[in-house]
Homo-oligomer: A and B are copies of this chain.
């Protein structure tokens, strides 16, 4: 019975596409790109405003150069603060503004609702999420 299923990779990628398609209209309504949302979420997770752009890039699996235009935009729109670290002025301290925190929470709330709708019909959803959490670490 094991051989009679698609490869894990194929199924995961399929589900990934489905989730992205689900999230896209939500993100668009809020005027942020996928990566911008990933950045907002990463910054909302860390306690304390400390962080360097290179570390942030690595933590979300992106290249540091890809981050720059995203950060530029988020800063211009007042969703993040980016100022030189007084202790080492090469680095930039990144932090969400109040507005940024609110935006992140609002988007995440909608995404969670959509996720729950997707999971709703599945009896093993709790085990699925637990295992996924473990396997994606």
A interface residues (Cβ-Cβ under 8 A, vs B): 2-3, 5-20, 23, 38, 41, 61, 108, 111-112, 115, 118-119, 122, 124-125, 127-136
Contacts and interface: CB of A to CB of B under 8 A. Distances in A.
Number of copies of this protein chain within its complex:
2
7 contacts: A5-B133, A8-B19, A8-B118, A9-B20, A10-B38, A13-B16, A15-B132
Chain A: interface secondary structure? helix
Given A14-B61, A15-B136, A135-B128, A23 B3 contact: no
* Complex A-B, nearest 5 residue pairs according to Cβ-Cβ distance, in ascending order: A128-B131, A127-B127, A11-B136, A9-B19, A14-B136
A9 B3 contact: no
B8 A129 contact: yes
